Amino acid sequence: FGGVVKEPPMHIVHISVEMAPIAKVGGLGDVVTSLSRAVQDMNHHVDIILPKYDCLKLNNMEDFQFHKSYSWGGTEIKVWLGKVEGLHVYFLEPQNGFFSAGCIYGRRNDGERFGFFCHASLEFLLQSGFHPDIIHCHDWSSAPVAWLYKEHYRHYGLNKARVVFTIHNLEFGASLIGKAMQYSDKATTVSPTYSQEVSGNPVIASHLYKFHGILNGIDQDIWDPYNDKFIPLSYTSENVVEGKRAAKEALQQRLGLKKADLPLVGIITRLTHQKGIHLIKHSIWHTLERSGQVVLLGSAPDPRIQNDFVNLANQLHSSHNDRARLCLTYDEPLSHLIYAGADFILVPSIFEPCGLTQLIAMRYGSIAVVRKTGGG
């Protein structure tokens, strides 16, 4: 479209609990940022509403300032405004401490916290006199926006909006997703294949007339080996060999691995069943047997899985200290260095709605080793 808008500009508001790179857990965070940037480039007006987590990565924020405060739900809610990757973001900070939990997900009351956030977001739009054309919500975590808008806020004066709901992963919170499917005007998911895979699911089946699979992409300016502050040498397809060699050396240096020109397999993932944990473990051993190096960057929401990998890390760091490194954490800058420095990026998912990891790998000239899962 080249930035040409055929219709008049629209005002689009995303209500989301993740946004890359300041509050990202997985692909949902990437998509909220990249989709918003793409739509804003077409001259539409895009705003994002996000919880003000205590764990926000504030160093990625520009012009961060206090905006206003309002009362709702028995508490004061402070609103902060900032710019992230060129996008306007409103941060809601309820004074009841809901988002001072040190994490995005993983508290026993996640449903309550995010339900509160959805309600508070609509209240913010109402009290600010905003009249968005589209309110876009995502997955189970902001699904309540769909029915809170249709049952309440539409009648209170926020009457212009249509609700778009996107399913990034149907595995979590199917009942909430089903309800949002019912109340939304349009529903999308992250690839045509996944839309077919889930079309028989009872929470989707009766809404197929308004359900579309739209293939995800990555933001090529955010994931760009020619312009990436986390890698040592800028590269394009012209100097990919030198660029990747420099990145591999920097990665080996940073992680204390042997500086040698060995095949390096990178794994960047949430460590959950979906991502093929047994295949990941198998590939680690297989790579080491074949004299390669392995770097895994991942963290597990389930403490038992995290513990299992801590044990594996201890074992590998003593048996193969110069060829294996397991970094059991979330680290955006390190992920860039791995995408650039690895020869292969392994994505052995059991199922994948779309998957961004393999797309980023290819953008950095790494060979994506994947299972045929559908998705993207």
d(CA 119, CA 70): 13
* Geometric angle at alpha carbon 268, from 220 and 227, rounded to 5°: 30
DSSP string, 120-179: HHHHHHHHTT---SEEEEEHHHHTHHHHHIIIIIHHHT-TT-EEEEEES-TTS-HHHHHH
Cβ closer to ligand ADP: 93 or 352?
352
Strand 293-299 to 264-270 pairing: parallel
- Which residue of the chain is nearest ligand ADP when measured via CB? 27
**Residues in 308-347 at the binding interface with ligand ADP, rule: CB under 6 A:** 330-332, 335
Cβ closer to ligand ADP: 20 or 148?
20
**By the rule CB under 6 A, 366 interacts with ligand ADP:** no
**By the rule CB under 6 A, 144 interacts with ligand ADP:** no
The 252-291 contact track toward ligand ADP, x by CB under 6 A, reads ----------------xxx---------------------
| Residue (of 95, 104, 123) closest to 55 by Cα position | 104
Cβ closer to ligand ADP: 224 or 332?
332
CB of 103 to ligand ADP, least distance (A): 13
CB of 337 to ligand ADP, least distance (A): 11
CB of 153 to ligand ADP, least distance (A): 29
CB of 221 to ligand ADP, least distance (A): 15
Sheet holding 62-72, edge to edge: 62-72, 75-84, 87-94, 45-51, 11-15, 134-138, 162-167, 186-189, 211-213
d(CA 207, CA 204): 6
| Binds ligand ADP by CB under 6 A, chosen from 99, 355, 366, 370 | 355
Cβ closer to ligand ADP: 152 or 270?
270
Cβ closer to ligand ADP: 244 or 275?
275
DSSP string, 286-352: HHHHTT-EEEEEEE-SSHHHHHHHHHHHHHHHHHSTTTEEEE-S--HHHHHHHHHH-SEEEE--S--
**By the rule CB under 6 A, 33 interacts with ligand ADP:** no
**Residues in 79-138 at the binding interface with ligand ADP, rule: CB under 6 A:** none
Q: Which stretches of the chain bind ligand ADP, using CB under 6 A?
A: 26-28, 30, 268-270, 297-299, 330-332, 335, 355-357, 360
